[in-house]
Amino acid sequence: MIGSWEILVILGIILLLFGGKRLPEFARNLGKGIREFKRACQTDVDNDNDSDPT
């Protein structure tokens, strides 16, 4: 299990790699990607339920 120190180290490395200016843009794009993935999964589940012949 990942502890708080490991998360802080990972966030520090990300900050060093992308820099302070690009980090908000990176987080925004990550959020959009997650929302799109959830929407696609939900649509897939809805389509599976609609095509169920029973």
Write out the two tokens for 25. 């843009």
Task: Summarize pLDDT for 9-18 with one digit per residue, the tens.
Answer: 998 998 898 8
pLDDT for the residue numbered 10: 92
Mean of the per-residue pLDDT values of the chain: 84
Distance in angstroms (rounded) separating the CA atoms of residues 35 and 26: 14
CB 32 within 8 A of CB 24: no
pTM of the prediction? Answer: 0.55
pLDDT for the residue numbered 49: 67
Write out the two tokens for 9. 């180290």
- Sketch the domain layout of the chain as residue ranges: 20-54
CA 27 to chain centre: 9
